[in-house]
Amino acid sequence: MSAGLQPTDGFLARVVEGRALAEQGDFRASEEHFRALLDEAREEHAGNHAMAMQSLITLYGRGGRYLEAHMLARRLAQRAREEGPAADKVLAFALGAICGALSQLDLDQPLGEALSDLRTVLDRAPVPLTNLELEYLAAAGVHARGRGDHELARRHWSEYRRIVQETEGLEQVFHWAMTMGGAQLAYHEGNYPLARHLVGQLGAGSETPPFHRLKELALTVSVHAALGERDEARPLAREALDILRFVKDEEGLASGRIHEGAVLARELERLNEWGLAASAYDLVAAAVLIRLRQVDACTRELPELGLDDAESSAVLGRFRHQFVREQQVLLRRVAAVYEARGDEFIQSLIGRGAAEGFVSICAWCESVRPEDGRWLPLGHFIPRDGTFDVTHAICPPCADAMQKTSA
Ligand SMILES: [Zn+2]
C-alpha cells in the first residue's frame, strides 16, 4: 500500500534527474521528463503518481503556469484527502500550491478558502512544515494586499522574514523572494525610496537568473514612473526589453513574460515612451499566443487536469474569461498608443509585418494574420511552437472603418 502516498526510492531518483534539468534552466526537457514519469505511474503506483504530480506542480509554479499548477494541485489534494491523515504532508503541499496559484491568478474568494484549509492542516502537523508556512504567509500577504489591508500584509511579510532569518539554511534560498516581497509591499504603500533601496540590494553582485532580473527591472521602472524619472527609467526599460526578447524561446516562462511585459508597457506609457511601450506590447502578444497553445495542449493531454467536475470547469472558464479580457485590455492600450500618433501613422500599419514573416495582430479587432497568411479571428490561430515574432498592425477592414470616421 502507499501509506501517506510515499514514492519508491527508484522513482525518487528519477524525479531528482528531472529537477536537475529545471535547475539548468531547461524547462521543456524537465516537463517532458516529469510527464513521462506521470504517464508511467498513473494507475500503477499511487505514491509515485503523487510524486510525479508534485514535481510538475512545482515546475509549472516556477514557470508561472498557474492554471496548470492549480488544476493538478486540486487533483493531488483530492487524492491526499482520500488517503487520510497519513498523507497530510502531501495535502499541505497541494494546498500550498493552490494558494500560490490563486494568489497569482487574483481569484480572491477561492484563495481565502484555500488559505483557511492550509492553515488547518499546518496547525495539526506534528512537526512544523517550514517551507509551506512560508508559502502560506506569502499567499496570505497577497490576499491581504488585494483587499487593501496593507497593515495585515506587512504583518505577514514580517513573519515571513522572521522565519527565513531564524531558520538555518533558509536565508540563502529565500533571500530574493523575501527582499522582493518587501520591495513590492513598499511600492504598493507608496514608499518609493524604500522600494528602490530594497530592489537595489538584489542586483548587487549576485548572479541573478534573467527572469528574476526582469522582475527587478519592471519594479524599478514602476518606481521611476511613479516619480516621473524618465531618464533613469529608459536604460532599465531597454535592458528589460532585451531580457524579454532573450527569454522568448523559453516557452516555460511565457506566462511570466505576459505579466512583467504588461507592467513594463504600462509604465512606459506613463512615461510617454511610446516606441518602447509598443515593443513591449509586441513581445507580450507573442507570449499570449504561446500561452493559449500551452493551456490548450495541457488540458487535452493530461487526464489529471480532469475537467469532469463543476469546480474545475468553473476555474478553467474563469481563466479563459480573464485571459480574453486581459487580451482585450492590452489591445485597447496598443490601439490608443497608435491612435495618439495620428492617421498617417495608422495607415502605415497596413501590411506591417507580412514582409518580415511576423505574425500580425490587429490592435483594433484582435484578428491575427499568421506568417504570410490571411486574417483570422484570434481563437482560430494556435501557433505550432514558440518560434515566431509578433507585431501589432491594423487589418484592412479596420483601416477602412478608421478612414471613414476620420473623413
Ligand atoms: Zn481589425
pLDDT at residue number 160: 93
What is the CA(223)–ligand 1 centre distance, in A? Answer: 35
Question: What length does the chain have?
Answer: 407
What is the CA(196)–ligand 1 centre distance, in A? Answer: 41
Share of the chain above pLDDT 70, in %: 92
> Which has the closest alpha carbon to 118: 163, 73, 71?
73
Q: Give the chain's mean pLDDT.
A: 85
In the predicted structure, residue 51 carries a pLDDT above the cut 80: yes
Other Cβ atoms closer than 10 A to 397:
13
> Which has the closest alpha carbon to 77: 111, 33, 44, 121?
121
- Specify the 3-state DSSP secondary structure of 296: helix
Give CA angle at 191 (203, 329), nearest 5°: 85
What is the CA(397)–ligand 1 centre distance, in A? Answer: 6
Residues, Cβ < 5 Å to ion ligand 1 = 362, 364-365, 367, 395, 398
What is the CA(392)–ligand 1 centre distance, in A? Answer: 10
Share of the chain above pLDDT 90, in %: 38
Residue 109: pLDDT band (50, 70, 90) is confident
- Specify the 3-state DSSP secondary structure of 360: strand
What is the CA(338)–ligand 1 centre distance, in A? Answer: 13
What is the CA(398)–ligand 1 centre distance, in A? Answer: 4
User: Using CB atoms within 10 A of its CB, is residue 149 exposed (0-12), middle (13-18) or buried (19+)?
Assistant: middle
What is the CA(245)–ligand 1 centre distance, in A? Answer: 26
> Which has the closest alpha carbon to 47: 16, 6, 9, 75?
6
What is the CA(293)–ligand 1 centre distance, in A? Answer: 22
CA distance 278 to 348: 15
Q: What is the mean pLDDT of residues 252-278?
A: 84
User: Virtual CA dihedral for 111, 114, 259, 317, nearest 10 degrees?
Assistant: -80
Other Cβ atoms closer than 10 A to 392:
23
What is the CA(206)–ligand 1 centre distance, in A? Answer: 46
Q: Are 89 and 52 in contact (CB under 8 A)?
A: no
Residue with cell string 528531472: 18
Residue 63 has what DSSP assignment?
A: T
What is the CA(87)–ligand 1 centre distance, in A? Answer: 53
For 125, phi and psi rounded to 5 degrees? -70, 135
Q: Considering only CA atoms, give the Rg of the chain.
A: 22
Q: Are 233 and 224 in contact (CB under 8 A)?
A: yes
What is the CA(388)–ligand 1 centre distance, in A? Answer: 20
What is the CA(262)–ligand 1 centre distance, in A? Answer: 21
What is the CA(242)–ligand 1 centre distance, in A? Answer: 29
What is the CA(396)–ligand 1 centre distance, in A? Answer: 7
Residue 48: pLDDT band (50, 70, 90) is very high
What is the CA(253)–ligand 1 centre distance, in A? Answer: 29
Q: How many helices (H) and strands (E) does the chain have?
A: 17, 3
pLDDT at residue number 260: 86
What is the CA(327)–ligand 1 centre distance, in A? Answer: 14
Q: What is the mean pLDDT of residues 26-30?
A: 86
> Which has the closest alpha carbon to 75: 55, 91, 99?
91
What is the CA(165)–ligand 1 centre distance, in A? Answer: 54
In the predicted structure, residue 238 carries a pLDDT above the cut 60: yes
What is the CA(348)–ligand 1 centre distance, in A? Answer: 14
Which residues does 342 contact at the CB level (< 8 Å), separation at least 6?
A: none
Per-residue model confidence as pLDDT tens digits over 336-388? 878 887 888 888 888 777 777 788 888 888 888 887 678 888 767 777 766 77
Per-residue model confidence as pLDDT tens digits over 275-330? 888 888 888 888 877 777 778 788 788 888 865 666 667 677 777 777 777 777 77
CA distance 14 to 144: 39
pLDDT at residue number 308: 66
What is the CA(289)–ligand 1 centre distance, in A? Answer: 17
Per-residue model confidence as pLDDT tens digits over 90-102? 999 999 999 998 8
Per-residue model confidence as pLDDT tens digits over 201-221? 886 555 667 778 888 999 999
Residue 50: pLDDT band (50, 70, 90) is very high
What is the CA(255)–ligand 1 centre distance, in A? Answer: 25
Q: Are strands 390-393 and 368-369 parallel, antiparallel or unpaired?
A: unpaired
pLDDT at residue number 207: 63
Give CA angle at 205 (199, 207), nearest 5°: 90
Residue with cell string 524579454: 244
Return left, alpha or beta for 361; rule: phi > 0 is left, psi -120 to 50 is alpha, else beta.
beta
What is the CA(359)–ligand 1 centre distance, in A? Answer: 14
- Distance (Å) of CA 350 to CA 223, 333, 357: 36, 18, 15
Which residues does 65 contact at the CB level (< 8 Å), separation at least 6?
A: 252, 255, 294, 298
- Specify the 3-state DSSP secondary structure of 362: strand
- Please, where are the H alpha helices in 302-360? 310-339, 343-347
Q: What's the predicted TM-score (pTM) here? A: 0.81
pLDDT at residue number 204: 55
pLDDT at residue number 307: 56
- Specify the 3-state DSSP secondary structure of 302: coil
Give CA angle at 212 (210, 215), nearest 5°: 110
Q: What is the mean pLDDT of residues 53-70?
A: 89
> Which has the closest alpha carbon to 83: 170, 161, 16, 2?
2
Per-residue model confidence as pLDDT tens digits over 143-199? 998 888 989 999 999 999 999 989 888 877 788 888 888 998 899 889 999 999 998
What is the CA(399)–ligand 1 centre distance, in A? Answer: 7
pLDDT at residue number 1: 45
- Distance (Å) of CA 22 to CA 28, 30, 53, 177: 8, 5, 15, 18
Q: Are strands 359-362 and 390-393 parallel, antiparallel or unpaired?
A: parallel
